[in-house]
Amino acid sequence: GFGLSANAQYKNAFGVRLGDAYGVTFKTFLQSNKALDFILNVRNRDDVEYFRLTGLYEVHNPIAGAPGLRWYYGGGGTIGRLNYKHNRDNELYLSIDGVLGLDYKLDGAPLNFSLDWKPALVLNPFTDFDAQGVGASIRITF
């Protein structure tokens, strides 16, 4: 079973993610301080559009003197599709991702906010390090 503790303040949360890409996010806790976070996002720029599904394993840690606020770290991966507009090529996208962030559960309301940095080592269709993965999420908890 799942019980609330000083670390776990909610079991599940679903909402939106805004940042370098926008999308939806679902976070579920496996233990009081260990969670899975799934992000489905899209991006449409002048030269490329894509959709990606990211899965992250996160470890959450309390911050002394800051009730409801935790910092977290973790890692996972992304799979998706890139569409280059200039030549209409569709490419498979693969990356290994890290994550470092802050997670806040609003006391007395079913709301959760997070801010994180999600750098990625891109493996396909090219090799690159993408450090631009900053995002903010707003979720309903249940």
Task: For residue range 104-127, list pLDDT tens digits in order.
Answer: 999 999 999 999 999 999 999 999
Supply the range of the domain harboring residue 74: 12-141
Asked whether residue 1 is assigned to any structural domain, the reply reads no
Nearest to 61 by CA among 71, 76, 51, 75: 71
Asked whether residue 7 is assigned to any structural domain, the reply reads no
Asked whether residue 56 is assigned to any structural domain, the reply reads yes
- pTM tops 0.75: yes
Nearest to 103 by CA among 78, 58, 68, 56: 68
Residue 86 has pLDDT above 70, yes or no: yes
Asked whether residue 63 is assigned to any structural domain, the reply reads yes
Asked whether residue 42 is assigned to any structural domain, the reply reads yes
pLDDT in tens, 36-60: 999 999 988 888 898 999 999 999 9
Asked whether residue 4 is assigned to any structural domain, the reply reads no
Distance CA 13, CA 82 (A): 28
CB 92 within 8 A of CB 81: yes
Asked whether residue 3 is assigned to any structural domain, the reply reads no
Distance CA 26, CA 13 (A): 6
Give CA separation, 5 vs 21, 32, 104, 113, in Å: 33, 7, 15, 19
Lowest mean pLDDT among 29-38, 52-61, 71-80, 81-90: 81-90
Number of domains in the chain: 1
Per-residue confidence (pLDDT) for residue 5, from 0 to 100:
41
The CATH number of the domain holding residue 38 is 2.40.160.20
Asked whether residue 2 is assigned to any structural domain, the reply reads no
Distance CA 63, CA 103 (A): 10
